[in-house]
Amino acid sequence: MMQLIAVFLSQGWEVVFASPAQESAHKYPLEELGVHSCSIELNSESFDIYVKELAPTMVLFDRFMMEEQFGWRVAQNCPDALRVLDTEDLHCLRKARENAVKEGRKFENSDLNSSLAIREIASMYRCDLSLLISSYEMALLENYFKVPQNILAYVPFMMDEISANTLEHTPTFAERNHFVTIGSFLHAPNWDCVRYLKSEIWPELRQKNPKAEMHVYGSYPNQKAMQLHNPKERFLIKGWAKDAHEVVKNARVCLAPLRFGAGMKGKLLEAMVCGTPSVTSEIGSEAMHADLPWNGFIENEQEDFVNAATQLYNNENVWVQAQKNGISIVNKVYAKEKIGKQLVQRIKDVHGDLSAHRRQNFTGSMLLHHSMKSTEYMSRWIVEKNKNHKD
């Protein structure tokens, strides 16, 4: 989201960030970037007045749940505004993979046929453009769900180029210590990853690396997470990282044995930017490296994962080559200027002839029709219910 905002600001566009969420102590100071922030209400007619007065040229929804809440209101009050959905990742894919792991079986594409998929893809059709961060998910939408390519846009992470000079200012192999993983404890793939590390990976890995510690960082460390903290086993729940870049930069190896998930994994890209090699699974590396050599190792089996992590932690030559691989991935796959220009041009092209673009999306028009909009009428019912409750 921050990268998208940066692209919009670089075009001289006025950006307003409106959210129904309660403010967090860790909220980014958007005002310092020239972005105006405001609070909006769910299931409230006050948003109709607000958005009509604002009269935006484009509205971007942060995931399909926000489009369900506010999309129909935007369509009614600002019909000429370009509606863009930032999917973040495919929620239906992540949930289907999670269910397969819980049931102890292999994920199949047929697992995607869920009510969650129906909601998510309906949201895409109702929008003029949906942003996908993963090339794997782009292909899945086009080939399995048959979503038209003209309403999809591939927009991966956008990163600054890593220069040789930048690398010179990062800690060397000898200056780094310990293993690290990072990610919100409230995010199901991360929480499963931490538990899997604790119960299956770390017992073997700490025996092979008796001086190493496992540092686990993440937001919202609840009581269940803190119960995994065990100094005797050198498994340390560190909680919120004030500077994620700093803690990853000083670790020798990043571990991410993800068993399910979707989208792209920010922790693994962060590791590449920090010059920190990683060991992850196929799920973790999915759509991350465009078939370039990985920033370390990709292993699915427990024993292979432990052996790869041990080799990377102790062999400087292997570690240095992995670091170089990561830098190459960042510079070739996530070139900020190129991706940003493509996104801006796509937005301009669609907005330039919005009527013609919408005529090609009959399914989207059908889903916006009153007979299909259960989300709108549920919201209207809640509004009336709230009014009666106040009275």
Q: What's the maximum distance between 2 C-alpha atoms anywhere in the chain?
A: 72
Of the pLDDT bands very low, low, confident and very high (cuts 50, 70, 90), residue 150 is very high
Of the pLDDT bands very low, low, confident and very high (cuts 50, 70, 90), residue 382 is confident
Sign of the alpha-carbon dihedral angle for 230, 231, 233, 238: positive
Torsion angle, alpha carbons of 348, 346, 130, 18, to 10: -40
Domain boundaries, the chain: 2-158+336-390, 164-333
pLDDT for residue 65 is more than 60? yes
Characterize 120-139 residue by residue with b for buried, 16 or more Cβ atoms within 10 angstroms of its Cβ, and e for exposed.
bbbbbbbbbbbbbbbbbbbe
Hey, which CATH number is domain 2-158+336-390, 3.20.20.30, 3.90.580.10, 3.40.50.2000, 3.40.640.10? 3.40.50.2000
The model's pLDDT over 308-328, given as tens digits with 9 standing for 90+, comes to 999 999 999 999 999 999 999
Element (H, E) at 82: strand 82-86
Of the pLDDT bands very low, low, confident and very high (cuts 50, 70, 90), residue 251 is very high
The model's pLDDT over 194-225, given as tens digits with 9 standing for 90+, comes to 999 999 999 999 999 999 999 999 998 989 99
Q: Which two tokens stand for residue 142?
A: 């086009």
Of the pLDDT bands very low, low, confident and very high (cuts 50, 70, 90), residue 386 is confident
- Class of the CATH domain delimited by 164-333: alpha beta
How many residues comprise the chain? 391
pTM to 2 decimals?
0.90
pLDDT for residue 117 is more than 80? yes
Neighbour order of strands in the sheet with 278-280:
235-239, 214-217, 179-182, 253-256, 278-280, 296-298
Identical fold, 2-158+336-390 and 164-333: yes
82 contact partners, CB below 8 Å, separation of at least 6:
57, 58, 59, 128, 129, 347, 350, 351, 354
247 contact partners, CB below 8 Å, separation of at least 6:
180, 182, 215, 217, 238, 241
Give residue 370's pLDDT: 66
The values of phi and psi at residue 90, to 5°, are -80, 105
Q: Which two tokens stand for residue 343?
A: 């996104």
Q: Are 129 and 350 in contact (CB under 8 A)?
A: yes
